[in-house]
Amino acid sequence: MGRKFFVGGNWKCNGTTEEVKKIIAVLNGAQVPSGDVVDVVVSPPFVFLPLVQSLLRSDFHVAAQNCWVHKGGAFTGEVSAEMLANLGVPWVIIGHSERRLILNESSEFIGDKVAYALSQGLKVIACVGETLEQRESGSTIDVVYAQTKAIADKISSWDNVVLAYEPVWAIGTGEVATPAQAQEVHHQLRKWLHRNVSAEVAQSVRIIYGGSVNGSNCKELAGLPDLDGFLVGGASLKPEFVDIINSSL
């Protein structure tokens, strides 16, 4: 069985109620393949999750952009995995580079978060990726292996995990990875899963790419053998997100 294409839209810390309604109207009117062909997940800021859930077509789903690492409690400003499950939010993005780098989340902390979110029945988009400095020093593969290992060490099943490779130097820069660069890292990640988890998991886990994906560059990337979809930032707030959803056709 092939891996189902997956397209996530990470809205990051953007949007007003009016803007949310506008982008949802575009998505709801879009001609896209059925949910059997592509998983579409949009990830608004926490405060807009109920609004998006109430308006969004039923074949698309929502993701939170983060959650607390363990059970909720006295953690001011945090949102727990239990709360997301209680709201019927099926997905959560964990380990985005903006949280790793700006909020100093360690790989170990991210591994704990992924494990806890899974334990609460959430599905996880787990992000890995190297900085420009790491790429230039030749350590890309070591970095993404270590980030992936920190997750693998904490979880017992990859059934509900999508792995997102997002090179930091490509995020929000307009400098998308070349098809060769993306394919190389995705292939190496699949090899790592094969060696360290299982052949079955290596075969079935979706590895998606993020970093300056847009309506014009998505098609070529979508055809790569080890690339199973996208995690889209800026372009997920625009009508071209529909082209990205359709890029595997």
Ligand X SMILES: O=C(CO)COP(=O)(O)O
- Which residues of the chain form contacts with ligand X (CB under 6 A)? 10, 96, 166, 171-172, 210-213, 231-235
Listed in sequence order, the residues at least 6 apart from 142 whose beta carbon sits closer than 8 Å to its beta carbon are: none
Structure token digits, residue 191: 């090899």
Least CB distance to ligand X at residue 29 (A): 22
Least CB distance to ligand X at residue 224 (A): 17
Q: Which of 82, 105, 130, 166 is catalytic?
A: 166
3-state secondary structure of 49: helix
Least CB distance to ligand X at residue 237 (A): 9
Q: Which of 96, 98, 105, 240 is catalytic?
A: 96
Closest residue to ligand X, judged by C-beta, is 233
Q: Which is nearer to ligand X, 92 or 231 (CB)?
A: 231
Main-chain dihedrals φ then ψ at residue 150, nearest 5 degrees: -60, -30
Q: Which is nearer to ligand X, 128 or 235 (CB)?
A: 235
Any catalytic annotation for residue 130? no
The one-character DSSP state at 214 is: -
103, exposed or middle or buried, with CB in 10 Å at 0-12, 13-18, 19+?
A: exposed
Least CB distance to ligand X at residue 234 (A): 4
Q: Which is nearer to ligand X, 115 or 126 (CB)?
A: 126
Q: Which is nearer to ligand X, 38 or 235 (CB)?
A: 235
Structure token digits, residue 10: 């990470």
Least CB distance to ligand X at residue 76 (A): 26
Q: Which is nearer to ligand X, 100 or 190 (CB)?
A: 100
Strand partners for 94: 126
Any catalytic annotation for residue 187? no
What number of CA atoms fall less than 13 Å from residue 240's CA on the CB side?
A: 12
Helix (H) or strand (E) run with residue 29 in it: none
* Sign, CA torsion 128/131/133/138: positive
The secondary structure of 131-164 as a DSSP string is -HHHHHTT-HHHHHHHHHHHHHTT-S--TTEEEE
Q: Indicate which residues carry an active-site annotation.
A: 96, 166
